[in-house]
Amino acid sequence: MRAMLARLQSWEGFLTCVVIFVILYNTALTPQFMTMGNQINLFQLSIEKVIVAVAMTFVIVNAEIDLSVGSMMGLAACAFGWLVQQGVPAGAAIPLVLLIGAAGGAFNAYFITRVGLPSLVVTLATLIGFRGLARVLVEDRGITDFPDWFDRLGQQGLIGPFPLSLIVFALLIVAGHVLLAHTGFGRRTYVIGTNREVAEYAGIDTARHKQILFVASGTIAALAGLLYAARVGAVRGDVAFGFELDIITIVLLGGVSIFGGVGTMIGTALSILLVLNLRNGMALMNITGHIQTGVIGVLLIASVIVPRLSLRRRRQEAAP
């Protein structure tokens, strides 16, 4: 009983309650809410963001940040469009674009781990740089002439009603959870995020670890950019503009500490469920996007305050 109460007091417990409440409320209000179609649809509308949120969870637990993911999504989509326009077969363009993502991540990692600059600054610079590249590639045009199979992959169910992007997301978040919670790699992610010097003194190659995370973040952002291109069927220079903030919001709302070392993939998953259902529910109730954003903002502030309150209480009890 005590254990159950303790769990309820945790941020994850709180999120679970809110998610259940929101879903029940939405279902009561709009009967079509809980249909498979609507649920898939609400995921589909933000699927690229939630895919990147999985990688972002690792980055933030590691006490870093990657602001360049939105721009990388845009760059990947635009690079894909450009390559296809130049006559490169789409099947060959896909791995090339993923390589661009990895290279972009490696570029970030170089300046963060070798030059020693803060990731906030480095990825702010590449947020601008990657976006600039994307705009150079497609200029003011929109590119829409993708092969049919590519568009179908983005828009239709691959297995039953589930589109490819949703399957990719499901696989990524499960793999991400296992990696973070049950492997040595995950443990190192937490330790480095808690105290990098302690990790370094314990013989952990913290630079290499961060390099892996940033390369993965860039690659996954590029993959998300490709999925975006396939879903929308068109790319422009402003694809995924500003997405990084939504992604970071989801991760922080899931209880991941911006200071690193704290948070779980389950928290991120709950936060994804909450944000998507809340926005969808409010949209079904004809509440405008601005108010939706305001509600998410209030929740974000709560996500910072509530765990602190319970932490302080626990600290005091354990203090002698």
Interacting residues toward other proteins by CB under 8 A: 182-188, 190-191, 194-195, 197-205, 261-262, 316-320
User: Nearest Cα to 77, choosing from 54, 101, 106, 53?
Assistant: 101
- Buried/exposed code over 304-317 (b: 16+ C-beta within 10 A; e: otherwise): eebbeeeeeeeeee
Q: Would you tell me how many other CB atoms lie within 10 Å of the CB of residue 97?
A: 25
d(CA 92, CA 90) in angstroms, rounded, equals 5
Q: CA 265 to CA 275: how far, in whole Å?
A: 15
What phi, psi does 33 have (nearest 5°)?
A: -60, -45
CA dist 15 and 164 (Å) reads 28
Nearest CB to other proteins, comparing residues 298 and 319: 319
Q: How many CB atoms lie within 10 A of CB 90?
A: 17
Evaluate whether 74 touches 137 at the Cβ level (below 8 Å).
no
What does DSSP assign to residue 158?
Answer: E
Which residues 6+ apart lie within 8 Å of 211 measured at CB?
A: 106, 109, 113
Written as one string, the DSSP assignment of 101-155 is HHHHHHHHHIIIIIS---HHHHHHHHHHHHHHHHHHHHTT--B----HHHHHHHH
Comparing CB distances to other proteins, the nearer of 87 and 116 is 116
Judged by CB, which is closer to other proteins: 218, or 261?
261
Compute the C-alpha angle 192/194/198, nearest 5°: 60
Q: From the CA atom positions of the chain, what is the Rg in Å? A: 20
